[in-house]
Chain A
Amino acid sequence: MNIGLSYDVVRFEEKALLQSINNLGHKPLPIHVVAREFWINEGNGLDADFIIQRCVSYNRAAATTAIFERSGYIVVNNTQVLRNSADKLLTSCLLARKNVPTPVTAIALNRETALKAARKIGFPVVVKPISGSWGRNIARAFDEQSLLDILELRENMPNPQMKIHYIQEHVDKPERDIRAFYVWGEVPVAIYRVSKNWKTNTALGGKAQPCPVTDELADLVIKAGDAVGGGVLGVDVLESREKGMLVNEVNGVVEFRNTVLVTGYDLPTKIVEKSVEVLKR
């Protein structure tokens, strides 16, 4: 098959996926999206059986996926899955609809209602932007005053999304969370992200360690992946001391460098193999 790889920046992941495409006997078609023009009313001349979307910028990923789909290409992940996973509010709604356990979450559109919601959840609470990654602009409020300070800062930011307050219970977890990989309905590998920082993102210094994929973890991750629409996803899971495993976030253009390094598992080959198998049908 001819497999397109849509990207803006080349990281370990993009190189590894291109190598896997080659090794499996397929033809890789790198598409450096920032270096080319895209036409809405034409085919854009790509000879791909399907395209793996790897743009690190969400907006570039969403824009080019929409254009590829308009031209008739299948994209992994598709527009709907990208949107469902990039928008935390949408993700939370989809997970709740399928009864996937998550931290208690409320949305408030001004400071007063945000404060009321936080009182009901109980302090500390976590305030997140509804879009964004790598732990950016996520804050923890231990009391009403610190929450009001955070909300004031958010409401003075130019981005109108920051006026939608996504407020979540703070989960007391064992200095780690889990990043598990959902590949077309399977959970082939997972890692712990270990950190003394309450934000365990590896982008913020969290250390990756192998994590066993138990039946309980696999069931939860499959439910979460199915709820946002399937494809290839990273599912972040918190281990609550009181409630057990809770799905925290789902990622639609997932990074896996640290997972490959610490587990030795060939995830890029799994992603290509499984995508070919599913999309051939």
Chain B
Amino acid sequence: MPSLNCPVCGASVEVPNDALPGELFECGDCGAQLEYFMDEKNTASLKVAEEVAEDWGQ
């Protein structure tokens, strides 16, 4: 399972091998909601997840 750095506190966050771009994870240290992200060079990282918007949900 690869580890990626939390962009908020820098802690290490484990991400499963089958993670998909857009998948959400929580940083175990600071509690930030993070989104798995893949850039154009296919490099994986975590970014702060977007906040729930008014048109979300069912």
Contact = CB atoms under 8 A, between A and B. Distances in A.
A18 B54 CA distance: 27
Interface string B16-51: 000011111000000000011010000000000100
Interface in A157-203: 159, 203
B58 A32 contact: no
B20 A30 contact: yes
A203 B57 contact: yes
A209 to B, nearest CB: 19
Nearest to A159: B54
Nearest to A19: B18
B54 A136 contact: yes
A35 B56 contact: no
Contact of A7 (B22, B56, B57): B22
A131 interface: yes
Interface string A6-27: 0111110011001000000000
Given A35-B38, A57-B53, A10 B22 contact: yes
Contacts, number: 54
A166 to B, nearest CB: 16
A32 B57 contact: no
B57 A133 contact: yes
A35 B21 contact: yes
- How many A residues touch the partner, as a band? 20 to 34
A34 interface: yes
Contact of B56 (A15, A32, A57, A251): A57
Given A32-B21, A35-B22, A134 B55 contact: no
Interface in A125-155: 131-134, 136
Contacts of B56: 56-58, 133-134
A224 interface: no
Contacts of A10: 20, 22-24, 36
Contacts of B24: 9-11
A9 B22 contact: yes
Which of B24, B53, B57, B58 has the most A CB atoms < 10 Å from its CB? B58
Contacts of A7: 22
Nearest to B37: A35
Nearest to B38: A35
Contacts of B58: 56, 133-134, 234, 251-255
A113 interface: no
Nearest to A60: B55
Contacts of B22: 7-10, 32, 34-35
A233 B22 CA distance: 24
Given A9-B49, A35-B21, 8 more contacts: A10-B22, A10-B23, A30-B20, A32-B20, A35-B22, A133-B56, A253-B58, A255-B57
Interface of B: 20-24, 35-36, 38, 49, 53-58
